[in-house]
Structure 1
Amino acid sequence: MIDLSQSEPFASGGNRFCYRHPEQAEICVKVMRPRRTAELLGRAPWYKTWRGESYFDDNLREQEGYSQRAIAANRSGLWQHLPRWYGIQDTSLGPAAVTDMILDSDGKPAPTLRQYLNQHGLNDEIRASLQRFSQWLLEYEVLTKNLIAHNLVLREEQGELQVYLIDGLGCASFLPLPKVSSYFAKRYIHRRIERMWLRVEWEISDKEIPWRKFEAEGLKR
């Protein structure tokens, strides 16, 4: 069991706390917030409540995302943009999703795309990095949910910025066709990439237009 009793999270999201492994600093340990699944279940529309609390557990959703066809194939080059997965493990704070930690050159958690854009904007370097990431998604047919700026982190490798997806694996399609068909997978991924670029455009804007409205208007272009 991983003892987190003396650890503080280095990051947190709406549903999970993120810790560095107390004995292996290059490992990330993600724990659900206490009682969060019950809270999400209680707020869910009636047609989702039949799934039970497990449906709202981000660790189980991440496990499902890592079990997709593209990752199970484990082709050479697959891990260029993904932290490796070490399963769900017991901790002193409950079950945790355990992955590689993406670190910068100083050994600190790598900055998010949002942090980079806030500091540097959409320069040529990050544009090229996102294009390489998009090509990788299509080549390996990796299914993701919406590619948002705080779920992508950046690390310099061989003189180039490399994008890593640290959260959001999985398929958000109502029908499972992208999970079983290469044709539908590529169509699905193209739509996720289109939304990713819209999200980048919104991140560098003044954000006066709420994201949902910005997205809806952008997809009409």
Structure 2
Amino acid sequence: MLFLKDEDFIAKGNERAIYLHPEDNKKTVKVTYEGNQRQESKQSQKEISYYKELEKRGMKNFKHLPKFYGEVETNKGAGFVIELIRDYDGKVSKSFAFYLKENGVEAYQKELEEYRQYFLDNCIIFNYGMMPKNILLRKNSETDFDLVLIDGLGDVSHFTLPNKIPYFARRRISRRWEKFVNKYLLK
């Protein structure tokens, strides 16, 4: 069992809290926090399930997703371990929302197109939780950046069978991408 300390707290969403892994500063632990509306995190269940599906597919390219290291029991409940996204200088990457506010969407057209193409090429479904605050901008250098989805992986639809067929998966990804762009990037 991992013991998560309050001083290792990083962030909190609607259902989950994220902590620095106590034994590895290159990893984080996501746990369902006490006092949220649900006892079990549906987000966590979907995300873990989707990571396992990617493993079965032999997914090796995690350029735009944190790497998944499995499930774990902690003193704060069940959780799972993922990569901590850091910039080239070792600092924890900031949210895409932060950079959009600072520089505007036009500054990141190349990164957005590469990000969109990554999901299409790998048939990776994201849900409506993909919003600028749930995407990090990882600085690989002063001029080279990657967008990394830290929340919103997997499909919340009840009918997910079409996601197994690349043609239909890409159509769903394209529709969700359009909604993402219209809702968050065209302001």
Q: 1:171 aligns with which of 147, 155, 160?
A: 155
Q: What TM-score do you get using the length of structure 2 for normalisation? A: 0.89
C-alpha distance in 2 between matches for 1:72 and 1:157: 29
C-alpha spacing 1:98/1:149, structure 2 compared with 1 (3 Å): same
Q: 1:138 Cα shift?
A: 0.5
8 A contact 2:19–2:28 mirrored in 1 = yes
Unaligned regions of 5+ residues in structure 1, if any?
A: 41-52, 206-221
Q: Over the residues paired in the alignment, what is the CA RMSD in angstroms? A: 1.9
C-alpha distance in 1 between matches for 2:3 and 2:55: 29
8 A contact 1:7–1:22 mirrored in 2 = no
Q: 1:88 aligns with which of 55, 71, 74?
A: 71
8 A contact 2:46–2:155 mirrored in 1 = no
| SS across alignment from 2:69 | strand
User: Which residue identity does 2:182 align to in structure 1?
Assistant: L
- 1:47-94 Cα distance to aligned partner (Å, 9 max, x none): xxxxxx54x4432221012123x5532245x21111110111011211
Aligned length: 185
C-alpha distance in 1 between matches for 2:160 and 2:174: 16
Q: 2:127 aligns with which of 122, 142, 145?
A: 145
* TM alignment of 1:1-221, pairs within 5 A: 1-5=1-5, 7-36=7-36, 39-40=37-38, 54=40, 56-68=41-53, 70-76=54-60, 78-124=61-107, 126-146=108-128, 147-157=130-140, 159-201=143-185, 205=187
| SS across alignment from 1:90 | strand
Q: Identity of aligned pairs, percent?
A: 29
- 1:87-136 Cα distance to aligned partner (Å, 9 max, x none): 11011211112100001233232111111111111133x11101001011
Unaligned regions of 5+ residues in structure 2, if any?
A: none
| SS across alignment from 2:178 | helix
- Flag the structure with higher strand content: 2
Q: 1:174 Cα shift?
A: 3.0
**Structure 1 residue ranges (4+ consecutive) displaced by more than 6 angstroms after TM superposition:** none
8 A contact 1:149–1:199 mirrored in 2 = no
C-alpha distance in 2 between matches for 1:174 and 1:4: 34
- 1:181-200 Cα distance to aligned partner (Å, 9 max, x none): 11210110001111221233
Q: 1:17 Cα shift?
A: 1.1
C-alpha spacing 1:161/1:199, structure 2 compared with 1 (3 Å): farther
Q: What TM-score do you get using the length of structure 1 for normalisation? A: 0.76
- Flag the structure with higher helix content: 1
8 A contact 1:148–1:196 mirrored in 2 = yes
